Structure 1
Amino acid sequence: MQPETAEAPLSDHEIALIRASVSVVAPLAEDMTVYFYAILFARYPEVRPMFPPGMDAQRGRLLRALLRIVDLVDDPESLVRFCGHLGRDHRKFGTLAAHFPAVGECLLAALARYVGHAWTVDIAAAWAKAYGVIAQVMIRAAEQDEAVRPAVWPATVVHRVSHGHGIAEITVRPHEPYEYSAGQYVSLETPWWPKLWRYYSVANAPREDGTLTFHVRAVPGGSVSDALVHRAAVGHVLRLGPPMGDMVLDAAVHEDLLCVAGGTGLAPIRALIEEVARRGERHQVDLFLGARTGAELYGVNDMLRMAQRHHWLTIRGAVSHEYIPGIRGSLPDVLSEYGPWYHHDVFLSGPAAMVMSAGETLTLAGTMPDRIHHDPFETPVLSAP
């Protein structure tokens, strides 16, 4: 697939206008997204069935995407990559090219209302131009994607294991071939909550039988996670969106790898380690697992068995809120104790606060930022509670 390219790049003045307007509207951003969807559904009621009955998560997703776009507006290459991901991912909602003008109209109307007296003709023109570039990239990416693969993949649950503490391991078999890379994440929809999609990392490298395993923790108020942990059973059919994420093994340049996983963040890390084993490459892998208590340090025995089979894999577990034999402390602190790691490619996964702190610790100790890999913070994989 050819990479998307953005035409008509924004000038420095237009970028400054967009960022200035966002700084004005930022304190009212949540109210603005409520207003945006209200006028979108009022002016274009035909789009309402595309969205779930409860809109809280959807409004948060829009807000995160807008903030990310503004953050990348002076980085055309990253902006195109991000918007390309959005375009491909939005196919699962039934988004068509004809929907983009309506969204753009209502977005500018919402911005104008909440920017207030600071809104000018020049700001409106800059936003219109920026939205045009974004829409162009998303539409092109969706059209290219449509030519080679489905928008969604039905997948039957074929195995389920409970790990306690609200964590379940769920394995599905897609009804059509599903190509992805170890380390990527996938959006899931359950039959109990139609149109509610949540992101989960695949916990295995690609298998010959085509199955995918997900580690899901039921979170308070999490409709989808609760359904997956407590209701999903063998035979139920879920739906998968396209694979996303760039935290893949091909991003590494060093032979030595440092993998750091907190909680269910073990899922993509396990997939990466399986991929190292599958390829038979000469990597030395140091894996650090972290949790608040020893009971929550799940997956250790499974990874220890893997280390027994592969001499290049070293595993250390750490707990931060319990006095037990072994390593005690937060993962960033433990990494400092066992470093330095500046000759390694680093893969981080888990709670956003841990990923950010570990990344800062490693950077201060000499690891180059472009050698630290993790999913983007605006994805629910990292930002969920």
Structure 2
Amino acid sequence: MRFRLTPSEPEQAEGPLTAREIELVRASAAVVEPLAADMTVYFYAILFARYPQVRPMFPPGMDAQRGRLLRALLRIVDLVDDPGGLVRFCGHLGRDHRKFGTLDAHFPAVGECLLASLARFAGPAWTEEIAAAWAKAYGVVSEVMIGAAREDAAVRPAVWPATVVHRVPRGNGIAEITLRPHLPYAYTAGQYVSVETPWWPGQWRYYSPANAPREDGTLTLHVRAVPGGTVSSALVDRAAVGDVVRLGAPMGDMVLDAAAHSDLLFVAGGTGLAPIRALVEDIALRGGRHQVDLFLGARTGAELYGVDDMLRMSQRHHWLKIRGAVSHEPIPGLRGSLPDVLAEFGPWDQHDVYLSGPARMVVSATETLTRRGTQPDRIHHDPFETPVLSLP
């Protein structure tokens, strides 16, 4: 099967996969999964060899990109029997890929190289019937991504240049960086944005604004420099007032409109405070129609940043109650991990819960809360790792 890298009008919409096609896709994915890391290396090698014009769209270092492709493929296979979930996921992918400069004409090239890679690593297990099933599945995925990107392009840019207008170091490798987009940038408190710096073109990382939308259009990010993190280290150690970065479109559903209850539980670990702070500001702007219990956690007291700011907010807003906890240092106050501390309070079964912080904390807190009666659909948090690839 050979695809051509040429623009074309969209063909007849692909129908949903049959039960037999779903079975074939999943069975063949299981065959190549043990070799998936090598397969992604091969995929990009033949993609760049056959279509060198796409290479500038990707960062110089490809390790993270290969991992993203693998997670996307596994997610698509997981959703192949869930048409609604597959459409939502691929729609997010299509909109997010606009910032890379992806064009309709790139999809046939990717499909050609993907099927060639699958065939090589499936070996004798690969058949014409399996190839046809994968071609149909990829047709559905690419059709949704292209449609979502076109609809998005009709209403907003792919990227927003933004100037650094303020920078405040907060210690422990954390900096607050305020940006002013050059074009109107509409987002909702609790969402996250992707950021690319001029020093690492093609490298995008996700951060949550720490403020509800402001009249002056600026947004503030809380960034922790991660060892080996190119974007985070550049923002914390190198960015200065006047530098220009680029923003991708805002994403995420961890917003107040998702809440069914008037009582809210907010839980923030580390720089996970950023979207929680934005949500608190949003509640204040809405007139304080929610009662909020906020738990802040860190390993040590020094890492428990932002507490003073949040305490000042609680003094202004009677509906906000704050508790802080540390897990690895004997200081006055609450001791233990955030999930352990949450178990001492409550009950939380009549609350909407918003969790933000390290993945391990979010997973553990979710388990603690569900065991104690909180309904899973009332627990909201950002996706892990590359958010667009791990949407719940």
Q: Are residues 1:266 and 2:273 paired?
A: yes
Q: Secondary structure at the match of 2:352?
A: strand
* CA distance in structure 1 between the partners assigned to 2:18 and 2:219 by the alignment: 44
Structure 2: which amino acid aligns with 1:35? Y
What do the CA deviations read for 1:109-149 (whole angstroms, capped 9, x no partner)? 11122222222222222211111111111101110111111
Match runs of 1:9-20 below 5 Å:
9-20=16-27
> How big is the shift at 1:315?
0.8
Counterparts in 2 of 1:375 and 1:90: CA distance versus 1, 3 Å? same
* CA distance in structure 2 between the partners assigned to 1:352 and 1:114 by the alignment: 32
Match of 1:39 among 17, 27, 46: 46
* CA distance in structure 2 between the partners assigned to 1:13 and 1:183 by the alignment: 41
Counterparts in 2 of 1:322 and 1:166: CA distance versus 1, 3 Å? same
* CA distance in structure 1 between the partners assigned to 2:148 and 2:389 by the alignment: 24
Match of 1:321 among 299, 318, 328: 328
Structure 1: which amino acid aligns with 2:224? R
Q: Are residues 1:238 and 2:248 paired?
A: no
Q: Secondary structure at the match of 1:97?
A: coil
Paired residues of 1:97 and 1:139 also in contact (CA < 8 A): yes
TM value normalised by structure 2: 0.93
Counterparts in 2 of 1:234 and 1:113: CA distance versus 1, 3 Å? same
> How big is the shift at 1:74?
2.2
Q: Where does structure 1 lack aligned partners over 5 or more consecutive residues?
A: 1-5
> How big is the shift at 1:7?
5.2
> How big is the shift at 1:372?
0.7
> How big is the shift at 1:381?
9.4
Q: Secondary structure at the match of 1:10?
A: coil
Structure 2: which amino acid aligns with 1:193? W
Q: Secondary structure at the match of 1:52?
A: coil
What do the CA deviations read for 1:170-191 (whole angstroms, capped 9, x no partner)? 0000000000111111110111
Counterparts in 2 of 1:158 and 1:264: CA distance versus 1, 3 Å? same
Match of 1:202 among 202, 209, 221: 209
Compare 250-259 and 15-24 and name the one that shifted more.
Answer: 15-24
Match of 1:27 among 26, 34, 40: 34
What do the CA deviations read for 1:31-80 (whole angstroms, capped 9, x no partner)? 11111100100011110111111111111111222222222222222221
Paired residues of 1:375 and 1:382 also in contact (CA < 8 A): no
Q: Where does structure 2 lack aligned partners over 5 or more consecutive residues?
A: 1-12
Compare 273-282 and 288-297 and name the one that shifted more.
Answer: 273-282
1:293 maps to which residue?
Answer: 300
Match of 2:314 among 307, 320, 328: 307
Q: Are residues 1:190 and 2:162 paired?
A: no
Paired residues of 2:68 and 2:389 also in contact (CA < 8 A): no
1:154 maps to which residue?
Answer: 161
> How big is the shift at 1:380?
5.3
1:177 maps to which residue?
Answer: 184
Paired residues of 2:96 and 2:388 also in contact (CA < 8 A): no
Q: Secondary structure at the match of 1:57?
A: helix
Match of 2:286 among 271, 279, 288: 279
Paired residues of 2:209 and 2:219 also in contact (CA < 8 A): yes
> How big is the shift at 1:256?
0.6
Q: Secondary structure at the match of 1:172?
A: strand
* CA distance in structure 1 between the partners assigned to 2:306 and 2:389 by the alignment: 19
* CA distance in structure 2 between the partners assigned to 1:224 and 1:192 by the alignment: 8
> How big is the shift at 1:214?
0.5
2:79 maps to which residue?
Answer: 72
* CA distance in structure 2 between the partners assigned to 1:339 and 1:125 by the alignment: 54
1:93 maps to which residue?
Answer: 100
Match of 2:67 among 38, 41, 60: 60
> How big is the shift at 1:12?
2.6
Q: Are residues 1:214 and 2:188 paired?
A: no
2:7 maps to which residue?
Answer: none
* CA distance in structure 2 between the partners assigned to 1:76 and 1:272 by the alignment: 32
1:83 maps to which residue?
Answer: 90
* CA distance in structure 1 between the partners assigned to 2:18 and 2:348 by the alignment: 40
Counterparts in 2 of 1:380 and 1:245: CA distance versus 1, 3 Å? closer
Q: Are residues 1:346 and 2:361 paired?
A: no
* CA distance in structure 1 between the partners assigned to 2:78 and 2:364 by the alignment: 20
> How big is the shift at 1:21?
2.1
What do the CA deviations read for 1:299-351 (whole angstroms, capped 9, x no partner)? 11111111111111111111111111111111111111112211011111111
Compare 285-294 and 69-78 and name the one that shifted more.
Answer: 69-78
TM value normalised by structure 1: 0.95
Compare 195-204 and 95-104 and name the one that shifted more.
Answer: 195-204
* CA distance in structure 1 between the partners assigned to 2:366 and 2:186 by the alignment: 29
Q: Secondary structure at the match of 1:287?
A: strand
* CA distance in structure 1 between the partners assigned to 2:127 and 2:258 by the alignment: 43
What do the CA deviations read for 1:242-294 (whole angstroms, capped 9, x no partner)? 01111111111110111111111111111111111111141011111111111
Q: Secondary structure at the match of 2:105?
A: helix
Number of matched residues? 378
